[in-house]
Amino acid sequence: MSESHPPLRSYGRMKSRPIKPRQAALMNTLLPQIRAPIEPFDPRTLKPDAAEVWLEIGFGGGEHMAAQAARSPEVLILGAEPFLNGVASAVRHVDEQQLSNVRIHDGDVRALLERLPDACLARVFILFPDPWPKARHNKRRLVQPEVIAELARVLKIGGALRFASDWADYIDWTLERFLKSPHFAWPAERADDWRTPPADHITTRYEEKRLGDCAPVFLDLLRK
């Protein structure tokens, strides 16, 4: 990252509770083997036979990322998560399922995006990110114009981006900002297109808690 950039800041707790001993051991042994490079890189060099490269932003405990990786072994999945407990949980999933097609960035996704080449991703998932519901905290939300611009850069033409949330204001916020971008389209035609979980969606424990103020909404956007 250029020295002209302000330092990245991920809001919230970096660790909420002690990491279990087995997960802590995997953080020391497995994570270094599957950590995304810290320099600019082409994801296909990590898995030369990958049919596609996907990215999950804020993978939480890693259940969705691991399940998608197990379901699509021909795909390389990059995952970004700044919170240590989530990373520890994800590394455990990778170990238990013996996944060879996952690479993890344990930090702010904006640093990872800067290291990726243009048009390298076929899919992006942003599932139930922190809504920062208070108006004075909205600036902390992940979905901001500069992040959308970076996502447009790294997504291939025709690439898909799925955003899901159970906070009505964040859904409106996200749709408004993506549709202001000339690079994204929302092809939904009927309510079921956003109210019904997509066929390939994998429900996580966080989603099941229903902590938001509305039923989950799924926005499937396309890179124009």
User: What is the structure's pLDDT at 3?
Assistant: 42
What is the count of structural domains for the chain? 2
125 and 105 in a common domain: no
pLDDT at 124 over 80: yes
Residue 21 lies in a domain: yes
Same domain, yes or no: 123 and 89:
no
Please check whether residue 156 lies inside any domain of the structure.
Answer: yes
Residues 91 and 161 in one domain: no
Percent of the chain at pLDDT > 70 equals 93
Q: In three state form, how does the secondary structure of 104-155 look?
A: EECCCHHHHHHHCCCCCEEEEEEECCCCCCCHHHHHHCCCCHHHHHHHHHHE
pLDDT of residue 204: 86
pTM (2 d.p.): 0.91
Q: Count of H helices and E strands in the chain? A: 9, 7
Domain that holds residue 33: 13-115
In a domain, 3, yes or no: no
Q: Does residue 56 come out as left (phi exceeding 0), alpha (psi in the -120 to 50 range) or beta? A: beta
State the CATH number of the domain containing residue 44: 3.40.50.150
Check 49, 95, 106, 130 and give the catalytic one. Answer: 130
How many angstroms separate the CA atoms of 163 and 148, rounded?
A: 12
pLDDT digits (tens, 9 = 90+) for 4-41: 444 555 544 455 678 989 999 999 999 999 999 999 99
The reply to whether 172 belongs to the active site is: no
On whether residue 157 sits in a domain, the answer given is yes
